Amino acid sequence: ANGIQRPKGYKVSWHYNPDVEKYHFGQNHPMKPWRLTLTKSLILSYGMHTAMDAYVPRAATKEEIAEFHKDEYVDFLSIATPQNIYEMYPELATGPQGYSSAIFGVGEDCPIFDGLFAFCSTYTGASIDAARKLCNKQSDIAINWSGGLHHAKKAEASGFCYVNDIVLAILQLLRHHPRVLYIDIDVHHGDGVEQAFWSTDRVMCVSFHKYDRDQFFPGTGPLDSTGPLHPDNPGKNYTINVPLNDGIDDEGYAYLFQNVIEPTIKIYNPSAIVLQCGADSLGHDRLGCFNLNIRGHGSCVSFVKSFGIPLLVVGGGGYTPRNVARAWAHETSILIGADKTLDPVLPDFLPHREAFRREGFTLFPNLSGWRREDGNTKAHIERIIRHVRDQLSYIRG
Ligand code: ZL4
Ligand code: CA
Ligand code: ZN
Residue 100 pLDDT more than 60?
no
Query: For 238-268, b where at least 16 C-beta lie within 10 A, e where not — what string?
Result: bbbbbbbbbbbbbebbbebbebbbebbbebb
Strands 203-210 and 12-15: unpaired
pLDDT over 50 (residue 123): yes
The SS3 assignment for 312 reads: strand
**What's residue 372's pLDDT?**
73
Q: Give the pLDDT score at 396.
A: 74
Residue 92: pLDDT band with limits 50, 70, 90: confident
108, pLDDT greater than 80:
yes
Identify the pLDDT of residue 96: 47
CB of residue 105 inside a 6 A radius of ligand 1: no
Q: Is residue 98 very low, low, confident or very high in pLDDT (cuts 50, 70, 90)?
A: low
- For the question of residue 352 being annotated catalytic, the response is no
Output the DSSP codes for 201-235. SSEEEEEEEE--TTTSTT----TT--S--STT-TT
Selected catalytic residue, list 15, 150, 177, 189? 189
For the entire predicted model, the pTM comes to 0.97
Neighbours of ion ligand 2 (CB under 5 A): 184, 186, 190, 207, 209
Contacts of 364 (CB under 8 A, 6+ apart): 293, 294, 295, 326, 330, 344
β-sheet with 311-314: strand ranges across: 53-55, 12-15, 141-144, 311-314, 272-276, 180-184, 203-210, 239-244
Q: Is 228 exposed, middle or buried (0-12, 13-18, 19+ CB in 10 A)?
A: middle
Collapsing DSSP to helix, strand or coil, 98 comes out as strand
Average pLDDT, the chain: 96
What is the C-alpha to C-alpha distance for residues 10 and 192, in angstroms, rounded to an integer?
A: 31
Range of weakest confidence among 44-48, 215-219, 332-336, 392-396: 392-396
The mean-pLDDT minimum among 39-48, 83-92, 161-170 falls in 83-92
Say how far apart CA 209 and CA 220 lie, in whole Å: 10
Q: Please write the tens of the pLDDT for every residue from 137-194.
A: 999 999 999 999 999 999 999 999 999 999 999 999 999 999 999 999 999 999 999 9
Per-residue pLDDT for 51 more than 90? yes
**348 falls in which pLDDT band (50, 70, 90)?**
confident
- CATH code linked to domain 12-392: 3.40.800.20
Nearest in space to 254 (alpha carbons), one of 292, 284, 222, 201? 292
Q: For residue 288, is pLDDT > 90? A: yes
State if residue 219 touches ligand 1 by the CB under 6 angstroms criterion: no
> Is the Cβ–Cβ distance between 247 and 282 less than 8 Å?
no
Q: Where are the domains of the chain?
A: 12-392
